[in-house]
Amino acid sequence: MDQPALYVFFGLIASGKSTLAELFAATHDLPYYNTDRVRKELAGIAANERRPDGMGQGIYTPEFNERTYQTMLDSAAQDFNKGATGVVLDGSYSKTTDRHKVSELASALTARILFILCSCSEQETQRRLALRAQDPNAVSDGRWEIFVRQRTTFEQPAELPPHQIIHIDTEAEPQELLRHLVF
């Protein structure tokens, strides 16, 4: 990791992106920003406080989403300006415009950028969401009904050049997946 790098783990709810992103950041000792945590910090609520808000409501309005993503970009820029060799961003990045803003930041900072699109089967998504619903420490408010809606609104990353994106099926063990993420 000679040139500074921005690593963006993205995908649908319960796709395994947060597990993999957090492990990647810890393994490489990189700053890590997760939309669920940042969103709840901005709202002034505990990370594990459950919010029954639907997509586009409460702390999930388009305006709050934009504020959340911008805060993450600002934090990443600060880290790079302090000499960080890389930063890990973790969120759905379901809109082309959100991914474009990340690319613009990387360009402005002359940092490499890599988008890691995480996915898994619907059956695995259901299993993960059921486990998450029982976990009192879960940060994400993602639920099946939100997944179903997000699946139809997610903008596929056709705008990303092939050298900037990796597609990864997250149904293997996280440590095994990490071995595929050597840059």
- H helical segments located in the chain: 17-28, 35-43, 62-81, 96-108, 122-134, 144-153, 174-179
Domain count, the chain: 1
Residue 135 three-state SS: coil
Query: What's the half-sphere exposure (Cβ side, CA atoms, 13 Å) at 134?
Result: 5
Are 172 and 124 contacting, i.e. CB atoms less than 8 angstroms apart? no
Q: Which own/partner pairs from 56-65 qualify as long-range (CB within 8 Å, at least 24 positions apart)? A: 60/141, 64/39
The CATH number covering residue 159 comes to 3.40.50.300
What is the strand order of the sheet 112-119 is part of? 32-34, 86-90, 5-11, 112-119, 165-169
- Pairwise CA distance, residues 164 & 155, whole Å: 17
Residue 117 three-state SS: strand
Query: φ, ψ for residue 136 (rounded to 5)?
Result: -65, -15
Query: Which structural domain range is residue 55 located in?
Result: 5-179
pLDDT of the residue at 52: 65
pLDDT of the residue at 183: 66
Residue 89 three-state SS: strand
pLDDT of the residue at 143: 81
Region of 143 (left: φ > 0; alpha: ψ -120 to 50; beta: rest) is beta
pLDDT of the residue at 147: 92
**Tens-digit pLDDT profile for the chain (183 aa)?**
478 999 999 999 999 999 999 999 999 999 999 999 999 899 888 787 776 665 666 777 889 899 999 999 999 999 999 999 999 999 999 999 999 999 999 999 999 999 999 999 999 999 999 998 888 878 787 888 889 999 999 999 999 999 999 999 999 998 899 888 876
Q: Is the full-model pTM beyond 0.85?
A: yes
Sign (positive or negative) of CA dihedral 79, 64, 58, 120: negative
pLDDT of the residue at 55: 63
- Pairwise CA distance, residues 6 & 77, whole Å: 10
Which single residue is written with the structure tokens 């961003």? 89
- Pairwise CA distance, residues 6 & 131, whole Å: 30
